[in-house]
Amino acid sequence: MIRPRRNRKSAAIRALVEETKVTTDDLIFPLFLLEDPKGKVEVNSMPGIYRLGLDHMLTEVEKCLNLGIRGFDIFPVVDERHKDKMATKSHDSNFFYIKALKEVKKRFPEACIMTDVAMDPYSTDGHDGMVDENGKILNDETLEVLGKMALTQAEAGIDIIGPSDMMDGRVGYIRDVLDENGFTEVSIMSYTAKYASAYYGPFRDALDSAPKSGDKKTYQMNPANQREALIEADLDVSEGADFLMVKPALAYLDVIKLLKDNYDLPIAAYNVSGEYAMVAAAAEKGWLDKTAIMKEMLLSIKRAGADIILTYFARDFAEATR
Ligand code: PBG
C-alpha cells in the first residue's frame, strides 16, 4: 500500500517535508500614526491594534525590530480640521506625519518604511481621488496631487511608496516625478489588484476615512473579476513598479496565484483590517484560537504565492514564533 501518512509520523519528519514557511522577513506591519505624540488609542473594530503618537510609534518600531520585523507601513490619522477638497496636507512637509516619518527614519535607518499614496485620509470627500461637483472621480487631475504626495514622502526618507488609489497611470506618473527629482532609489509597491472590498471597514474606522458619499467602485476592482488583474499588472510592470500587490488577501488567493504565475516581480498581499477583525472578534468570544488561525492564514497567503505579506498580525506572529 502507498502510505502518505509515513511523511507525517513525527514532528521531525513533518518539518523536513514542510513546503511553505512564513518568517518575520516576509512581513510588513501597518501602523496608524496619531498627531498627538503622546496619544495611544485602540481601534474599536481591531482589538489589539492601536493608533500611536510618535513617542509610542518609536517604541513600537524598536520592539518590532528586535523581534525581526523590519518592514512598516505608516498611515496617518488626520483630524477633520486638516482635511480639504484637494488633500493639501498630504504634501505639506510641515504637517505632522511627514515630520514623524523623518523622525522614525532618523532613529531607525535600518527599518524599511512604506507609506500610502491616495487622497482619502486627507480629503473632506474621503475618496482616493479628486471629486468634482457631480461626484465624479477625476483621474488625471488626481495624478498631480499623488505626485506631490509621493515626492514629499520620498523627501522624508521613505523607502517604498505604495500607491493605493487605483487611478489609471499613477505608477508611471509617480515614477517620473521621483526620478526627475533624484529619487531613483525609492521603490514603488503598487496596489495592483485592489478590489472594492467590504473588508476595509475597520481601517476606515481607524483613520476616519470612509467616503462621505458614493463608493469606490469606479476605481477599485470588481471582486468578480480575475483576468482584469492581468491588465493592471501589465500596466504596473510597464510603468516601473518594483512590487505587485493584491488586496485583500484571503478572499483573493486565486489572484495572488495568478500574478505569481505570470510575473517575475515580487508579489505582495495585504491581509487587510477586516480579515484581522474577524479573527480578533471570534477570538474574543472564545470561538477561535487567534494564534493558530493567524499562522494558518499567513501560511495560506504565502502558499498561494505571496512573497511579502502586509498584516496587522505581524507583531503577534513574531511573538508567537520567537
Ligand atoms: C487607502 C487605503 C485603504 C486601505 C489601505 N489604503 C482603504 C480604502 O481604500 O478604502 C485598506 C487597508 C485595510 O483595510 O487594512 N486608499
- The yes-or-no answer on residue 216 being catalytic is no
Domains and CATH numbers, the chain: 25-321 (3.20.20.70)
What digits encode the pLDDT tens for the residues 172-220?
999 999 999 999 999 999 999 999 999 999 999 999 999 999 999 999 9
Q: Is 109 helix (H, G, I), strand (E, B) or coil?
A: coil
Q: What is the ipTM of this complex?
A: 0.97
DSSP label of 264:
-
What dihedral angle (degrees, nearest 10) is formed by the CA atoms of 205, 206, 212, 218?
Answer: -100
Catalytic residue (choose from 83, 194, 290, 302): 194
DSSP state for residue 17 in the 8-state scheme: T
For a ligand 1 pocket test, name from 97, 130, 203, 271 the mutation site with the most ligand atoms within 8 angstroms of its C-beta. Answer: 203
C-alpha cell at 197: 472590498
pTM of the model: 0.97
User: Is 232 part of any known ligand binding site?
Assistant: yes
pLDDT digits (tens, 9 = 90+) for 260-309: 999 999 999 999 999 999 999 999 999 999 999 999 999 999 999 999 99
pLDDT tens by residue, 141-168? 999 999 999 999 999 999 999 999 999 9
Which cell numbers in the block locate residue 261? 504565475
* φ, ψ of residue 251 in degrees (nearest 5): -80, 0
Closest atom of ligand 1 to 164 CA is 16
